[in-house]
Amino acid sequence: MTKRFITTALAGAAALMLAGCSLIPTYERPAAPVPATFPNAAAAPDKGLPPAATVAWQDYFTDPRLIGLIETALANNRDLQVAILNIEQARAQFQITRAALFPAVDASAGGTRQRPSLLGNGVSSTYSVGLGVTAWELDFFGRVASLKESALAQYLATEEARKATQISLIAAVANGWLALLGDDEALEITRQTMVTRDDSLKLTKLRFDNGVSSEIDYRFAEAQAETARATYAQQQRIRMQDENALALLIGAPVPASATAGSIKGLQTLAPMPELPAGLSSDLIAERPDIRAAEQQLIAANANIGAARAAFFPRVTLTGSVGTASSEFSGLFDSGTKAWSFAPQITLPIFNAGANQANLDSARAGQKIAVAQYEKSIQSAFREVADALAGRATYDEQLRALVAQSKAEEVRFQLSDMRYRGGVASGLDLLDAQRSLFTSQLATAQTRQARLQNQVTLYKTLGGGWATK
């Protein structure tokens, strides 16, 4: 009879708990506060191309040197390792919260021997063995279930954050590698300019010594040669700093093979695949950072349910079943069964407004999460729009700069011939050298920026998570 009573009570309590209501507000995804289409999206028609989020990074970045760097970064980068460990921590926290939905059953065994008083002559003994449930909350109003939903959303948010970290890491490695190639190209341009200006300086010095050129021409040629050396030293420093930044990203020294043959590397790289922009609403499904922000919003919404449930009674159940005896050897004899059943209900009456303040805080947190979710969409829209603006304009800018460099090269050759023939002044030659150097550097920098913009477009459209 006793065992049947306890079993019936536990079954009834479980049924009541499962039938408990939820006070979580109905979740509705906020409308995206951005236009439906991107500006400059028509710069490259869709052509039935797959979305960026479905293009494996190995298919987008095909250079084996870059693939090796990315693989090293995925294995060694500390930020990515922290993101992975955050997932493990959030998963464990979710399991802890979820466990509160179920009764914790503990086994216990104990014994007591005591002399009741100094006047007594006897010693009493008590021994017990049993199973018990302590303070199991019957979740009639969904407080524990709300906390579980919040913990689940937090866990899912960390998973999305890990994907966003990987996307950012891959894009950063690719852009860092392109920066090194661009540095090498700029160094080669400057080195060639130094040679040219040194030749001009020697010629001008010879002409000055023979009274053909003025000291103004000579000193100007000397200044231009030293300017090229200063620029070369500056570019060497930038190159070393860029290599240090890339080494930090990949978590290892940058191998020399990663930039082998990079003097003209930017000009010989294979083109990256075209990517369709799609609609702005696609970002919600493709960008992990936006999905992470939405999971944070879902978690904040669930916290409101837990705060609401705090206004209602909390019912807890404590019970045990086992055996007790005054003799250790008689613990399992007939008639030694023992049980207890102690439900408890707690009704909040006065707590100086703590419950209301907790609810107000949860509602404010939910509004903050909405604002952060909307901002993440706006930021993503702006990033894609900026990358599309680059895609629409970099090609023409690079074409014009290449044409300018070719024109400046012809001008320099003609000026050099005229100067050596005594027709033009040294100032004309040095001005042509300076213009050529400036246009060549601008061309190399724009070529690098164009390639980095393609990497950024891939990243902002959610590419970099898919893999082979």
CATH number at residue 289: 1.20.1600.10
First to last CA, the chain: 63
Domain coverage including residue 401: 2-111+125-460
User: Does 232 reside within a domain?
Assistant: yes
Cα–Cα distance for residue pair 12/115, rounded to 1 Å? 42
User: Does 119 reside within a domain?
Assistant: no
Instruction: Output the six-digit token pair for 284.
Output: 């919600």
User: Does 39 reside within a domain?
Assistant: yes
Phi-psi region of 9 (alpha: psi -120 to 50; beta: other; left: phi over 0): alpha
CA angle 35, 456, 78 (to 5 degrees): 120
Q: Please, how many CA atoms are within 13 Å of residue 143, restricted to the half-sphere of its CB?
A: 18
* pLDDT (tens place) for every residue of the chain, 468 residues total: 445 544 544 445 444 444 457 889 999 999 999 988 888 776 555 667 888 889 999 999 999 999 999 999 999 999 999 999 999 999 999 998 888 888 888 888 877 877 666 555 667 777 778 888 888 888 888 899 999 999 999 999 999 999 999 999 999 999 999 999 999 999 999 999 999 989 888 988 888 888 877 888 888 889 999 999 999 999 999 999 999 999 999 999 999 998 887 666 788 888 899 888 888 888 888 899 999 999 999 999 999 999 999 999 988 888 888 787 767 666 677 767 878 888 888 888 988 999 999 999 999 999 999 999 999 999 999 999 999 999 999 999 999 999 999 999 999 899 888 888 877 777 888 888 899 999 999 999 999 999 999 999 999 999 898 887
338 Cβ contact partners less than 8 Å away, ≥ 6 residues apart: 128, 130, 320, 321, 322, 323, 324
User: Does 117 reside within a domain?
Assistant: no
User: Does 286 reside within a domain?
Assistant: yes
User: Does 7 reside within a domain?
Assistant: yes
What secondary structure letter does DSSP report for 124? E
Nearest to 253 by CA among 261, 263, 243: 243
Cα–Cα distance for residue pair 205/432, rounded to 1 Å? 18
The number of folded domains in the chain is: 1
What letter represents residue 301's amino acid? Answer: N
Cα–Cα distance for residue pair 36/79, rounded to 1 Å? 34
User: Does 466 reside within a domain?
Assistant: no
What's the chain's Rg over C-alpha atoms?
Answer: 37
Cα–Cα distance for residue pair 305/298, rounded to 1 Å? 11
Question: Are 53 and 163 spatial neighbours (Cβ–Cβ below 8 Å)?
Answer: no
Other CB atoms closer than 10 Å to residue 265's CB: what's the count? Answer: 19
Cα–Cα distance for residue pair 386/46, rounded to 1 Å? 18
Helix (H) / strand (E) element for 85: namely helix 78-99
Per-residue CA distances from 427 to 173, 199, 204, 412, 430 (Å)? 44, 15, 10, 12, 5
Cα–Cα distance for residue pair 133/342, rounded to 1 Å? 10
Q: Please, how many CA atoms are within 13 Å of residue 4, restricted to the half-sphere of its CB?
A: 1
The pTM for the full model equals 0.86
